């Protein structure tokens, strides 16, 4: 007992130091990441990510199952832990200044991985790498990825549902994400895209393979099967809704109790299929359900007392880590609040005559303004009497952009209600028209009606079409210029019948070229 220095209360000096270090570290960690954690939990309230509430307890359970292996593998250098904390700090600042939630969420994950290494040593990753991998599933993907994925999944699920209905002898056809049943229409909205089933089913397949399937090929097959299984069962859900609408009541197509209940039913059905497939693969491979990873005892058969697992020097590493979090909190506070906006004109006096286009100002509902988090904006409709084209303009301006409050690409905003994205590309400058900057171009179609959309980020003297590049310059300018102001410019024009894309773009350039000259007074360089 003397070697661990027990005091009168039966606690070792090491245990007390570790407890003090852990309390200090936890307090600093929570102070730094409180906003990020609140935002993260808020995103879990989205139906697509509601399964994330189960991820931290699942990761903790898997770590507990590996406590015996952790005891046997404790030790090794802690240098990778400090490197992980440095990377977490970079991601945190990038997420805050670049307005990218995913970077901040990833920073949380890397900070936890770094703390694990500081407490147990780098060898502990052999025991805790899989629980940490599972914990990463608590991080939602960036919106500009999930929106596109959701849209594509809607179309895939809708198309497969149509095929199943045809096999059952029912007449139906699809227009984008709208399924026409003849007597009524069923709109496959984002909530029915199946994204939540794809992600959660993939996670279940990953954990099931880890716990029940020993051979690597079993686990790979299980992961590969998870995606088509989730898409197929989601299509079955759409088919069931269509049939209930036809034979029972059209109200089954509305969101409500049945919509939510059927979603949970499909979720458990997907899980059941994955677990059944896991059992079949295990039977084919001739293995048992016991794997070395689930052994709760170490090599010495001992339990999980913290003093036998945590490194004796862990307490001061935790103190240092807490100090790093505290310093980062002070640094990011100075960066986030250091706005340096040049003078600009207010959009209140924005002109209604731009080139050949004459416009009419309109105003957004307060709920939309709140969702955009914009400081100033202009929106309105413009008409060209010569060409007969009409367009809609929206320019939200941000005096200061940071995480959760920034301009974002309008791709997902334009999709839905039967509209299909036919083309999307970056259009280079066209000196012949006078447009000396690139624009993002999208063409949407619905029942033969076409919309040509141009958009770009106008940010601190730059015109950018890539959202990724825009995030980078937000981060860079926040550090070097102490500025993150800027705007998103959106122009959507209804194309005339028979008007080619080239002709329509030339007409739209006739608006965007003089628009750029006007905007320079409202969006400072």
Distance CA 279, CA 281 (A): 5
E-strand stretches of 290-415? 353-354, 357-362, 376-384, 390-398
pLDDT confidence band for 481 (50 / 70 / 90): confident
Percentage of the chain exceeding pLDDT 70: 79
Which long-range contacts does 421-429 make (Cβ < 8 Å, 24+ apart)?
421/151, 422/450, 423/501, 426/465, 426/466, 427/454, 427/505
Percentage of the chain exceeding pLDDT 90: 37
Task: Identify the weakest region by mean pLDDT among 291-300, 448-457, 477-486.
Answer: 291-300
Q: Which residues contact 518 (CB under 8 A, 6 or more apart)?
A: 350, 351, 354
223 pLDDT higher than 70: yes
pLDDT confidence band for 479 (50 / 70 / 90): confident
Distance CA 92, CA 403 (A): 10
296 pLDDT higher than 50: no
Mean pLDDT of 502-517: 94
140 pLDDT higher than 80: yes
* Rounded to 5°, angle at Cα 518 from 337 and 466: 60
Burial profile 332-348: b = 16 or more Cβ within 10 angstroms, e = fewer: beeebeeeeeeeeeebe
Distance CA 465, CA 467 (A): 6
The per-residue pLDDT for range 349-385, each reduced to its tens digit, is 899 999 999 999 999 888 888 878 888 999 999 999 9
The per-residue pLDDT for range 414-454, each reduced to its tens digit, is 555 556 778 888 999 999 989 999 999 999 887 778 899 99
Q: Which residues contact 310 (CB under 8 A, 6 or more apart)?
A: 18, 74, 119, 120
Sign of CA dihedral 290, 293, 299, 303: negative
CA-CA distances (angstroms) from residue 248 to 105, 145, 179, 341?
45, 37, 18, 60
- Any idea which residue has 């036919």 for tokens? 422
pLDDT confidence band for 506 (50 / 70 / 90): very high
8 Å CB contact between 60 and 118: no
The residue that leads in pLDDT, 186 or 286, is 286
H helices present in 121-256, as ranges = 125-135, 143-167, 195-212, 216-247
How crowded is the C-beta side of 504, counted as CA atoms within 13 Å? 23
Distance CA 344, CA 200 (A): 47
pLDDT confidence band for 11 (50 / 70 / 90): very low
Distance CA 437, CA 441 (A): 13
pLDDT confidence band for 333 (50 / 70 / 90): low
The per-residue pLDDT for range 334-356, each reduced to its tens digit, is 665 545 678 889 998 899 999 99
Mean pLDDT of 389-408: 84
pLDDT confidence band for 206 (50 / 70 / 90): very high
pLDDT confidence band for 299 (50 / 70 / 90): very low
H helices present in 375-498, as ranges = 467-480
Predicted local distance difference test score (pLDDT) of residue 292: 44
The two counts, helices (H) then strands (E), for the chain are 14, 12
Question: Mean pLDDT of all residues in the chain?
Answer: 81
101 pLDDT higher than 80: yes
Distance CA 516, CA 437 (A): 10
pLDDT confidence band for 475 (50 / 70 / 90): confident
89 pLDDT higher than 50: yes
Q: Give this prediction's pTM.
A: 0.70
Distance, CA of 3 to chain centre:
50
């Amino acid at each position: 007992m003397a070697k661990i220095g027990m005091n009168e209360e039966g606690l070792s000096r090491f245990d007390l130091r570790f407890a003090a270090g852990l309390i200090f570290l936890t307090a600093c960690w929570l102070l730094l990441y409180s906003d990020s954690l609140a935002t993260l939990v808020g995103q879990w309230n989205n139906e697509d990510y509601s399964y994330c509430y189960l991820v931290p307890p699942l990761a903790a359970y898997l770590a507990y199952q590996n406590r015996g292996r952790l005891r046997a593998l404790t030790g090794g250098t802690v240098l990778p832990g400090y490197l992980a904390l440095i990377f977490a700090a970079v991601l945190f600042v990038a997420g805050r200044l670049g307005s990218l939630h995913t970077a901040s969420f990833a920073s949380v994950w890397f900070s936890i991985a770094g703390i694990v290494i500081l407490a147990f040593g780098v060898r502990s990753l052999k025991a805790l790498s899989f629980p940490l991998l599972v914990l990463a599933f608590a991080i939602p993907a960036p919106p500009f990825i999930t929106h596109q994925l959701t849209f594509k999944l809607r179309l895939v699920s809708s198309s497969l549902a149509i095929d199943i209905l045809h096999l059952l002898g029912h007449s139906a056809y699809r227009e984008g994400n709208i399924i026409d049943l003849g007597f009524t229409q069923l709109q496959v909205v984002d909530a029915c895209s199946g994204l939540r089933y794809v992600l959660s089913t993939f996670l279940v397949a990953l954990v099931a393979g880890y716990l029940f399937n020993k051979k690597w090929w079993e686990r790979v097959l299980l992961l590969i099967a998870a995606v088509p299984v989730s898409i197929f069962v989601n299509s079955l859900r759409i088919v069931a809704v269509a049939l209930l609408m036809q034979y029972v009541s059209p109200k089954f197509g509305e969101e409500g109790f049945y919509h939510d209940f059927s979603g949970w039913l499909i979720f458990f059905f997907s899980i059941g299929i994955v677990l059944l497939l896991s059992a079949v693969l295990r039977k084919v491979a001739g293995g048992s359900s016991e794997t070395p990873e689930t052994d709760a005892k170490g090599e010495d058969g001992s339990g999980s007392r913290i003093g036998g697992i945590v490194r004796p020097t862990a307490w001061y590493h935790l103190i240092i880590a807490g100090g790093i979090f505290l310093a980062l909190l002070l640094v990011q506070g100075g960066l986030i609040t250091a706005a340096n906006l040049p003078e600009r004109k207010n959009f209140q006096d924005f002109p209604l005559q731009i080139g050949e286009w004459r416009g009419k100002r309109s105003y957004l509902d307060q709920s939309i303004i709140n969702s955009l988090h914009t400081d100033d904006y202009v929106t309105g409709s413009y008409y060209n009497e010569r060409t007969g084209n009409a367009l809609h303009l929206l320019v939200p301006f941000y005096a200061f952009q940071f995480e959760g409050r920034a301009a974002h690409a309008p791709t997902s905003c334009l999709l839905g209600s039967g509209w299909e994205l036919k083309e999307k590309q970056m259009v280079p400058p066209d000196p012949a028209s006078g447009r000396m900057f690139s624009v993002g171009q999208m063409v949407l179609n619905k029942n033969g009606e076409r919309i040509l959309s141009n958009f770009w980020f106008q940010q601190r003297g730059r015109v950018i079409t890539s959202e990724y590049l825009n995030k980078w310059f937000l981060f860079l300018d926040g550090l070097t210029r102490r500025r993150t102001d800027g705007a998103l410019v959106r122009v959507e024009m209804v194309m005339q019948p028979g008007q080619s894309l080239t002709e329509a773009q030339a007409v739209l350039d006739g608006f965007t070229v003089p628009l750029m000259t006007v905007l320079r007074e409202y969006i400072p360089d």
